[in-house]
Amino acid sequence: MHLGVSESMREREYSQISTRSSTPMESPHQKRVLRKKWQAFPGQNKFYCDGRIMMARQTGVFYLTLVLILVTSGLFFAFDCPFLASALSPAIPAVGGVLFVFVMGTLLRTSFSDPGVLPRATPDEAADLERQIDVANGSSSGGFRPPPRTKEVLINGQTVKLKYCFTCKIFRPPRASHCSLCDNCVERFDHHCPWVGNCVGRRNYRFFYMFILSLSFLTIFIFAFVITHVILRSQSSGFLTALKDSPASVLEVVVCFFSVWSIVGLSGFHTYLISSNQTTNEDIKGSWSSKRGKDNYNPYSYGNIFTNCCAALCSPLPPSLIDRRGFIQPDTPQPAPPTNGITMYGATQSQSHMAAATPLLQSEPVMMSDEPSLPGRTSLGAACASLPLGQPTPPTSTPSLSCDADLLPLQGNHVEGQHHFLTPEEAPSPPGMLHCGSPMGQGHPHGHAPGHGVPFYSPASQDSLHEDSVRGLVKLSSV
């Protein structure tokens, strides 16, 4: 029965929380092998090392990041450091080494950890919420446009709207947002960064910040010392000879020169965000800007910069809410794609095949798992800080970004807002700070359903054309 199993599962879960290394399960009594939860995870993430590593679906750009950092640093240590160590001081390669290790450590930590994904609601929870919403809305929706599902909360005197996520079937906590690339709700969602191949959220924001900060230092460090190296050499043998003697330096200078601007800029931007306790998402949307109203202020800010910084960087690290490496108990209800009877509205679709075949949805190509990504899926804002090479667009090796590539400008933050159809964030005005501005998904009203929920409004007719127009209406009447 549910209980006894969940108790023992609880114990296993807690032993999993306390130690990173897993204790191997005693062999299950069932004939078939129990699968681990990461294998049935409803989002679009990829898992490695038996669930220990969690990344976004498209990781091509992450490998580019790795290559750029490794190659540039490698060239620095191989070609410039010997000269600098003897000519100036051996501390230079030592400091460089420490910086490099720190950069790699924080990068891997950012990329591989769970950003703070909220697990989807269990069927019971979803049903309970539905009931509450129906009660709150009175009689049935009456019309093709059901009332928007929001809840208002007063936080520190500021009214905040909590939106209902049709995919995850929960009311999103404040500051959470649904990443359409990863198809998850993420707590304290900052943005989806293709350069680290993961979302940046509550659990890995500090690693991300440390990464860009240390990368700024590393870039400036390499840039400065490569220039020093060339200057010192050219004092003895002339400029062109110096360049010929160490050709790697030219490459390093070029890479560092282009990356310094964007990475240092990004570090500065995030320092500002941390000190005012905002997320990239909120800043881009101007949620707490005074332009929205006289009384608009950030309810999460502690008032002074120091406390805000400490809260962002030194607050206790919450554990992962998704139990990746636990075993799926056969009789435990999994929260994944919704069954038919539970909801009236959202027959959402995620990776697995559509359980509840609703005639409406059948007309749509909803199988996310087949496509690498959605071509039309754009992102709020722009690409995350460009890396050393400063390419105008991310490489087209990653199909998901290839379409975005046309829209992504040189630099900026790749912000992932919400899923496009239902409760789109208001189209953000590009931040003045960074070059931003890929248009919102509203520019792409197409029949592709992202992996997340497509609402099924039962009052609506079963005409897919009509449904498209309904969705269009819903999109425009954004909450």
Partner 1 sequence: MATEFHNLQELRHSASLATKVFIQRDYTEGTVCKFQTKFPAELDSRIERSLFEDTVKTLNNYYAEAEKIGGQSYLEGCLACATAYVIFLCMETRYEKVLKKISKYIQEQNEKIYAPRGLLITDPIERGMRVIEISVFEDRGSSGSSSGSSSTSSSSGR
Applying CB under 8 A, which residues contact partner 1? 1-4, 6-7, 10, 13-14, 17-20, 101-102, 105-106, 109, 118-119, 121-122, 124-125, 128-129, 153-156, 160, 162, 170, 173-175, 187-188, 206-207, 210, 299-300, 307, 310-311, 313-319, 321-322
Between 18 and 236, name the residue whose CB sits nearer to partner 1: 18
Q: Which of 196, 193, 174 is nearest to 185 (CA)?
A: 174
Q: Is 38 helix (H, G, I), strand (E, B) or coil?
A: helix
Catalytic position from the list 193, 199, 256, 436: 193
Find the shortest distance in angstroms from Cβ 156 to partner 1: 6
* CA distance linking residue 76 with residue 72, whole number of Å: 6
Find the shortest distance in angstroms from Cβ 17 to partner 1: 5
60: Cα separation from own chain's centroid: 15
193 is catalytic: yes
Burial class (CB in 10 A: 0-12, 13-18, 19+), 417: buried
Find the shortest distance in angstroms from Cβ 14 to partner 1: 6
Between 329 and 458, name the residue whose CB sits nearer to partner 1: 329
Q: Which of 165, 458, 118, 440 is nearest to 285 (CA)?
A: 440
Paired residues of 158 in beta bridges? 155
Q: Fill in the DSSP letter of residue 443.
A: G
Find the shortest distance in angstroms from Cβ 459 to partner 1: 27
How far is residue 342 from each of residues 121, 130, 213, 366, 467, measured CA to CA in Å? 12, 8, 47, 20, 21
Find the shortest distance in angstroms from Cβ 451 to partner 1: 19
414-415 and 380-381 strand pairing:
antiparallel
**Contact predicate 376/403, CB 8 Å:** yes
Q: How is residue 120 written in tokens?
A: 């989807």
- Helices (H) then strands (E): counts for the chain: 13, 12
Q: Which of 398, 393, 426 is nearest to 412 (CA)?
A: 393
Q: Is 417 helix (H, G, I), strand (E, B) or coil?
A: coil
Between 48 and 239, name the residue whose CB sits nearer to partner 1: 48
Q: Tokens 């999993």: give the residue.
A: 16
Between 270 and 377, name the residue whose CB sits nearer to partner 1: 270
* CA distance linking residue 164 with residue 172, whole number of Å: 6
How far is residue 306 from each of residues 192, 198, 300, measured CA to CA in Å? 26, 28, 14
Find the shortest distance in angstroms from Cβ 344 to partner 1: 19
Between 174 and 286, name the residue whose CB sits nearer to partner 1: 174
Paired residues of 414 in beta bridges? 381
Between 263 and 312, name the residue whose CB sits nearer to partner 1: 312
Between 128 and 406, name the residue whose CB sits nearer to partner 1: 128
Find the shortest distance in angstroms from Cβ 315 to partner 1: 5
Residues with a catalytic annotation lie at: 193
